[in-house]
Structure 1
Amino acid sequence: MTDSAPPVKPARVLVTGADGTIGRPVVQALLSAGSSVTALSAAWSGPSPADRVFTGDAADETLVRQALEDADAVVHLAAIPHPGLGTAREVFVGNTSATFTVLNVAGEVGVRRAVIASSINAFGVPFNRHDLTPAYYPLDELSPVAHDDAYSLSKWVDEQTGAWAYSRWGITVVALRFPLVRDLPELREFAARLGRNPGEQARLAREGWAYLAMADAVDAVLRGLTRPISGMHTLLLAAEDTLVEEPTDLLLDRFAPTSERRRDFPGRTAPIDTSAARRVLGWVPRHRLGDPSGPISTTFQETPA
């Protein structure tokens, strides 16, 4: 549910996973926008610019309660980000227990806005070991699930935990289904390697060859914190084009011929439906692989939905 009220900038935000790929840019963007930041991470690659810093596990209830002191919003990014980075139990239990702990404690102490990191993998097909392709394109938040790995299952469960937190505590939760997120120069290098690797192109067909520039990912997080909305919202994000230079319809003909195609995808149009994020957050991806790679200023300014 949305309304016409102006956006509200949180005074203090707890960011978990604050030393991660997305965490560090989010912390910097929040500080640049005038919010105070509490940063929590299991380890640190360098000093954090946040004025309050905690080291430890986001599933540690005592630590999370301390870190949430004076916070009025939370960005939960802490997770084991790949099924191969631990045992199935470590990945699933670690991710889901951290999300439950952060949202439950936030609810207990009165926080009423949270943005959590989900994944384009949450519907399960991209990492599934079986010979599957998505039921249809474009991918959307309702794509039928087929879970076969602990990471994807954990992200899907995290979304259900967000719905529980809204019901139990009245926390508005925005779960962002991120694809591959990097700065544009790194994405261009990845795309160049992908163009020489048909096997990897076939694998990435399951997630629509999607990517997202870091600035657009950070913008979605900030909008998730400030947009005048309520409820639980799971939102799929992606750039408007794909990582592959070949036309999308030809790629789908080659790599996903049995999947239903609900519309055409001219040129390199990404077969990803981001209309929910546009409607709920007023968010539009502003970066493509072919664009200049100059820095983009990310603020709390709203653009019309």
Structure 2
Amino acid sequence: MRIIVTGGSGKLGRTVVRTLREEGHEVVNLDRSGERGSVVLVDLTDAGQVLDAVAGIDEHHAGVDAIVHLAAVPAPGLMSDVATFHNNLLSTFNVLQAARRAGVKRVVTASSETVLGLPFDTPPPYIPVDEDVTSPETTYSLVKHLEEQLAIQLVRWDPELSITALRFSDVMDPEDYAAFPAFDADASLRKWNLWGYVDARDGAQAVSRALAAARPGFERYVIAAADTVMSRPNAELVSEVFPGVEVRGKLGEHDTLLSIEKARRELGYEPRHSWRDAVGR
């Protein structure tokens, strides 16, 4: 396919672009910045620029088959609340609207684990958490929730449109793993996302599988590694940090507490990378 990736110069975006190209797709990276020659500079808050870029860009393409929307202010607290809200919600609306106007029926967007209730100052209703948990606690996560709600309505308006929202956990590259063993000293250091993470290569796998499995309508999936960031067992962590929270099913010794069962079942997603392989744990 010919695929637009927004935010293809970011941490996850770089790996997604590389993975899709290795799979034989033609990829156009739309971003605000990036290495010259590898990116088309577009302000995604400008609807005219977005629609123009989706419809065609001179020698780059004359229309696309799919869009992967990753561009965003990537976390809470990096900009003011108003700036985060304005940039992220408007960008997503412009991308989805451009897809509709240009007749692109296959869209994958980056949602976030933050909609699950991070930083879990209020404990989750149950563990592991899954897609049924939605409790945004920051402006950033509120916007991600609203983006999902926007998608739900747009696919209702256009029954042929497919939008898949991937609730990515904290994205890691291999060089990040050297810091993981230090987390064991204090369980509260990483309790904010139930000790979760996802390798960027597995995040890219999820994008690829979501594109391949796309069907009309809206779906959302939690995307995380198969394990936690901790060497300490899950039962010990949950008992210490979240006593009294309902445990649904088996915790496993180090199994992710951000449930990826739906992604496994419906997308065929299976994480291949773990920090334990990188540091010998």
**TM-score calculated relative to the size of structure 1:** 0.84
- What CA deviation, in whole Å up to 9, does each residue of 1:14-42 have, x standing for no partner? 11111100111111222222222221111
**Which residue among 123, 148, 158 is the counterpart of 2:137?**
148
> What pairs with 1:7-156 in structure 2 (closer than 5 Å)?
10=1, 12-44=2-34, 46-47=35-36, 49=38, 53-69=39-55, 70-123=63-116, 125-127=117-119, 131-145=121-135, 147-156=136-145
Q: Which residue among 151, 154, 168 is the counterpart of 2:157?
A: 168
1:212 lines up with 2:198 in the alignment: yes
Summarize the Cα distance change of 1:120–1:211 in structure 2 as closer, same or farther, 3 Å threshold.
Answer: same
- Distance between the aligned counterparts of 2:37 and 2:31, measured in 1? 10
Query: Any conservation in 2 of the 1:59–1:102 contact (CA below 8 Å)?
Result: no
Number of equivalenced pairs: 271
CA distance 1:106–1:210, change in 2 (3 Å): same
- Identify the match of residue 267 of structure 1 among 253, 267, 270: 253
Deviation of 1:259 (Å): 1.4
In structure 2, what is the equivalent of residue 283 of structure 1?
A: 269
Q: Which residue in 1 is equivalent to 2:237?
A: 251
Secondary structure at the aligned position of 2:155 is classed as helix
Unaligned 5+ segments in structure 2 are 56-62
Q: Secondary structure at the match of 1:232?
A: strand
Q: Which amino acid counterpart does residue 190 of structure 1 have in structure 2?
A: A
Deviation at 1:54, TM superposition (A): 2.1
Aligned AA (1:62): G
- Amino acid of the structure 2 residue aligned with 1:150: T
Q: 1:91 & 1:258 partners in 2: Cα distance?
A: 35
Aligned partner of residue 29 in structure 1, secondary structure: helix
1:303 corresponds to:
none
In the TM superposition, residue 83 of structure 1 has moved relative to its aligned partner by: 1.5
Distance in 2 between residues matched to 1:62 and 1:144, nearest whole Å:
32
Q: Distance in 2 between matches of 1:119 and 1:289?
A: 21
Aligned residue for 1:143, secondary structure, equals coil
Q: Determine what percentage of the aligned residue pairs are the same residue.
A: 32
For residues 206 and 292 of structure 1, the distance between their equivalents in structure 2, rounded to whole angstroms, comes to: 23
Tell me the amino acid that sits aligned with residue 214 of structure 1: A
- Tell me the distance in 1 between the aligned counterparts of 2:214 and 2:95: 22
Per the alignment, in what secondary structure is the counterpart of residue 93 of structure 2?
Answer: helix
Q: Distance in 1 between matches of 2:278 and 2:175?
A: 10
Describe the superposition over 1:105-163 as per-residue Cα deviations: whole angstroms up to 9, x where unpaired. 1111100000100111013x2146xx411111011011142x33100111111111221
CA RMSD in angstroms, aligned pairs only: 1.7
CA separation in 2, counterparts of 1:37 and 1:47?
A: 15
Give the equivalent residue in structure 1 for 2:59. none
Equivalent residue for 1:189?
178
1: CA distance between counterparts of 2:134 and 2:167?
Answer: 15
**Higher helix fraction (1 or 2):** 2
